[in-house]
């Protein structure tokens, strides 16, 4: 009895953990029945677990997916689309269609035998939100972000069709937060203008550059390799250090932390930017005045 009670406790813990996840999760048994449907799946589709548990997966997909089971199984093929999944359109219970990114994982026991599948999905619109720097509430910053977003989407669309080299540099000024705290917003903005001018002098032909947050900049680049992108970042970091910024007679030494990410056909634009942001954050954690490249986030001091 104790062993049975322990098993029930473990199942309840597992179900509670799955119910806490933001992604919809459907677990399908080996004979093709829906055996689990978490709360996020209910919220995304409007269909409760009571509606779906015990149904055959093909019947369920015909009810849920625009185009039916054939569309779902083709587009969410786990061998063809590892990691990211694919875009599918689902019928919400209230009558509208909801786009979702979905992927299918094969579940195996300890001996490697297949025991079922798990389908993981989330609303596709969440992929459209590009990560930005902190703040960015000033009208000038917002205008810069809007222009850069337009350029990013256009460049990424070209990259998707032609695979011409494309990457981004996410740059933050290491001294900005402290300067804003000790000398105020005007001093910080004056410093950022100096840095912006210095960085602008190092841009390659055809590159786009602008503010991406209160203390951050973004460069849209066409360097051919990750190594060349990192080398370009080193040049820009050196130019930032030469920016002569003085406030009330005091000279402030400036450095930047940069995250570099080269576009890959297997990722979205939001994922590319997130990689650059993560690399930039790693640069900060390395003590600032660093450059880190994604993936792997290998960091180096600029020469």
Across the beta sheet with 24-29, the strand order is 34-37, 24-29, 114-123, 97-108, 86-91
* Ranges in the chain annotated CATH 3.30.450.20: 2-125
The C-alpha atoms of residue 151 and residue 202 are separated, in whole angstroms, by 19
The C-alpha atoms of residue 284 and residue 134 are separated, in whole angstroms, by 14
Q: For residue 14, give every residue at least 6 positions away whose Cβ sits within 8 Å of its Cβ, in sequence order, or none.
A: none
Contact predicate 210/203, CB 8 Å: no
| Consecutive H or E run containing 169 | strand 167-173
To the question of domain 129-300 being in CATH 3.30.70.270, the answer is: yes
Q: Which of 73-82, 97-106, 208-217, 290-299 has the lowest mean pLDDT?
A: 73-82
Q: Which residues of 210-235 are buried (b: 16+ CB within 10 A; e: fewer)?
A: bbbbbbbbbbbbbbeebebbbebbbe
* Ranges in the chain annotated CATH 3.30.70.270: 129-300
| Consecutive H or E run containing 217 | strand 216-221
The model scores a pTM over 0.75: no
Taking only the tens place, the pLDDT of each residue in 238-280 is: 999 988 888 887 888 999 999 999 999 888 888 899 999 999 9
Q: Which of 77-91, 167-181, 279-293 has the lowest mean pLDDT?
A: 77-91
Q: What is the DSSP string of 16-39?
A: HHHHTSSSEEEEEETTSBEEEE-H
**Residue whose entry in the numeric block shows the structure tokens 């996020």:** 40
Write down the architecture of domain 2-125 according to CATH: 2-Layer Sandwich (3.30)
> What pLDDT score was predicted for residue 79?
40
């Amino acid at each position: 009895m104790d062993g049975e009670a322990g098993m029930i406790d473990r199942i309840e813990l597992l179900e509670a953990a799955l119910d806490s996840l933001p992604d919809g999760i459907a677990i399908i048994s080996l004979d093709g029945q829906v055996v689990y449907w978490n709360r996020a799946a209910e919220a995304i589709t409007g269909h409760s677990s009571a509606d779906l548990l015990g149904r055959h997966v093909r019947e369920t997909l015909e009810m849920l997916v625009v185009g039916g089971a054939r569309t779902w199984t083709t587009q969410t093929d786990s061998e063809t689309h590892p990691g990211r999944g694919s875009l599918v359109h689902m019928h919400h219970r209230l009558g509208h269609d909801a786009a979702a990114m979905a992927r299918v994982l094969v579940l195996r026991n300890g001996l490697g035998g297949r025991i079922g599948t798990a389908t993981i999905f989330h609303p596709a619109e969440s992929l459209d939100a590009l990560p930005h720097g902190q703040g960015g509430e000033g009208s000038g910053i917002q205008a810069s972000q809007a222009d850069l977003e337009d350029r990013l989407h256009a460049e990424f669309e070209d990259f998707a069709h032609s695979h011409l080299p494309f990457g981004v540099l996410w740059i933050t000024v290491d001294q900005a937060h402290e300067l804003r705290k000790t000398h105020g917003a005007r001093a910080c903005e004056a410093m950022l203008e100096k840095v912006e001018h210095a960085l602008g002098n190092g841009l390659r032909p055809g590159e786009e550059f602008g503010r991406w947050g209160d203390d951050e900049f973004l460069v849209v680049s066409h360097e051919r390799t990750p190594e060349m992108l990192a080398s370009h970042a080193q040049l820009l970091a050196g130019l930032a250090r030469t920016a002569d910024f003085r406030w009330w007679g005091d000279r402030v030494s400036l450095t930047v932390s940069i995250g570099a990410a080269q576009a890959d056909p297997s990722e979205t634009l939001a994922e590319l930017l997130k990689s650059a942001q993560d690399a930039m954050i790693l640069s900060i954690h390395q003590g600032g005045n660093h450059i880190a490249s994604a993936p792997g986030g290998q960091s180096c001091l600029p020469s």
